[in-house]
C-alpha cells in the first residue's frame, strides 16, 4: 500500500487549520479548496489577488495548478473540479473566465467534470476551487 503524502507548493502559506493543500496517495491527488491568494511572501499574511471575480478566479486556478504540479500532476490528470461561488450572479462571468483559461492550457485529454455550488466564504473571497486528479 502506498504512503499518503502532503503536497505543499512553495507558493503557498501554511493552511489556517490542520489540513494539507494537497494529498497524494498512489496515483490519486486531492487538491484542497484553493482561493485567490497571491503567492506567499515571508512574514506576511495571505493577500487576495484583488477584489474582482476575474482576479480571484485566475489566481485560484493558478493556485490549484501549483498544487497539482507539486504533486506531479497537471490539468490533463484532473477528473473532477468543484467551484464554490459566493454569488449566483457570478456564474456566467466565472464560466467565461474558466473556459478562456482552459482554452489556453492546451489540454490533450477531455476536460474534467465540474460541479458549481454557492457558499459563504470569508469576507472578500468570491471563489474557491478544489480538484481531484488521477495520475497514470
- Residue 1 confidence class, pLDDT cut points 50, 70, 90: low
Task: Provide the b/e sequence for 2-40 (b: ≥16 CB within 10 Å).
Answer: eeeeebbbebbbeeeeeebbbbbeeebbbbbbbbbbbbb
Quote the CA–CA distance of 57 and 115 in Å, as a whole number.
Answer: 15
In Å, how far are 7, 24, 89 from 64, measured between CA atoms?
11, 14, 23
Bridge partners, 22 (sequence order): 7, 31
11-51 pLDDT, tens digit per residue, is 998 888 899 999 999 999 999 999 999 988 877 888 889 99
Secondary structure class of 31 (helix, strand, coil): strand
Structural domain boundaries of the chain? 4-134
Mean pLDDT for 66-76 is 97
Which pTM does this prediction carry? 0.95
- pLDDT the model gives residue 22: 97
Please give the CATH topology (third level) of the domain spanning 4-134. Answer: 60s Ribosomal Protein L30; Chain: A; (3.30.1330)
Amino acid at each position: 500500500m502506498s504512503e499518503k503524502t502532503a503536497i505543499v507548493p512553495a507558493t503557498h502559506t501554511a493552511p489556517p487549520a490542520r489540513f494539507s493543500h494537497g494529498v497524494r496517495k498512489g496515483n490519486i491527488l486531492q487538491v484542497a479548496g484553493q482561493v485567490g491568494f497571491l503567492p506567499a511572501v515571508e512574514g506576511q499574511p495571505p493577500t487576495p489577488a484583488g477584489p474582482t471575480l476575474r482576479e480571484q478566479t485566475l489566481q485560484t486556478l493558478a493556485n490549484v495548478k501549483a498544487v497539482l504540479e507539486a504533486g506531479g500532476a497537471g490539468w490533463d490528470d484532473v477528473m473532477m473540479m468543484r467551484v464554490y461561488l459566493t454569488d449566483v450572479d457570478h456564474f456566467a462571468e466565472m464560466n467565461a473566465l474558466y473556459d478562456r483559461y482552459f482554452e489556453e492550457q492546451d489540454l490533450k485529454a477531455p476536460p474534467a467534470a465540474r460541479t458549481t455550488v454557492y457558499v459563504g466564504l470569508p469576507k472578500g473571497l468570491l471563489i474557491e476551487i478544489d480538484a481531484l486528479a488521477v495520475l497514470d
